[in-house]
Structure 1
Amino acid sequence: MYFISPTRGKLSLDETYRNIVEFVNEAPDLEHRLIVGSDSQTREEDVCFVTAVIIYREGKGGKFFYRKEYEKINQSIRQRLFYETSKSLELASELTRRLSKDDSFRGKLSIEIHLDVGRQGETRELIKEVVGMVVGSGYDARIKPDSYGASKVADKYTK
């Protein structure tokens, strides 16, 4: 598994994690948020899934990384949305595991999951279920219009 950084290119998960840690350590007294969001786009023969991880320094900007995967599956919008959510949860879980081993980050950096659902459109009926999935896994959930990790960052790279 690898990630793409617009500034650093192709990175392993270890390198991505180190970049996140370095970014936080550049300004350790400022508030940071770690955001994970996924989106997908159906194409003719497959589905493109993008999962983004964003480290955001409150009021000062941030950095993001994304991974892109293609799968030859035929899913309904409901199945795709649950699959996107599970991809975000999988990455968030791995980042949580790594952060919990680092004493300097224990309890300081919360992870938000940004979901590509909103009160408008065909996904509105799924909000309760996917938010419950995220909150039940111990993470904060954001939906549109506040879920830019999925609806803006990840979405940009599904095209």
Structure 2
Amino acid sequence: MSKNQDYLFQNLQEQNMTFEHVFSQIVSFMKSDPLGNYRLMVGTDSQVHRSYTVFITGIVIQNEGNGVWACIRKYVVPRKMLHLHERISLELSLTEEIVSMFTEGRKNELINIILPHLYQGATFVMEGHIDIGAGKRNKTSAFVKEMVTRMESMGVEPKIKPDAFVASSYANRYTK
């Protein structure tokens, strides 16, 4: 894995976006409605194919009830990753890498957009969506505590299934 500028993101409108471009899109989205209720969510999902494994990390900024802006990053491992813990751990590592690009300075820049409007109800939260579930029948339930602790240690609110829709739904769509 490489430096921030080597990370490329895409969505239906744009290809080959740098993280700086992604961040400026998020800033623009939030500045268009500084009174909004924003959730910045990052999550990764994976899919094992015949000779490789695809990982998709989604970044979604949602203004609850007023739209979203989103993009993905694709990462391919040139082998079948059949061990569930290894795959989930790499999913979380890829999410952590993107979360870490939102430095304190960048997070403060986003918070400062809504700060003058807090008393009018504006909000901002950052979430890490983990594609695991705590249900007894869920194969990933054994990893919940470990993965949730990793997200919390980064100062990000962890979300697991069914609330981890950036990983389990948005990113999942692009792993096929």
TM more than 0.5: yes
SS in 2 for 1:5: coil
2:64 maps to 1:58: yes
Q: Deviation at 1:9?
A: 3.4
Once the two structures are superposed, the pairs formed by residues 1-159 of structure 1 within 5 Å of their partners are 1-75=7-81, 76-100=83-107, 102=109, 104-105=112-113, 109-118=124-133, 119=135, 120-159=137-176
Q: Deviations over 1:75-128 (max 9, x none)?
A: 411011011111111101102345146373598643100010012421111111
**Segments ≥4 residues shifted beyond 4 Å:** 105-108
Relative to total residues, which structure has the larger strand share, 1 or 2? 1
Q: Which residue of 1 aligns with 2:118?
A: none
How many percent identity over aligned positions? Answer: 28
State how many pairs are aligned.
159
CA contact (8 A) 1:99 1:106 kept: no
CA contact (8 A) 2:34 2:114 kept: no
Extract unaligned runs of 5+ from structure 1: none
Aligned mates of 1:106, 1:88 — CA distance in 2: 25
> RMSD of aligned C-alpha atoms?
1.9
CA contact (8 A) 2:54 2:75 kept: yes
TM-score by length of 2: 0.83
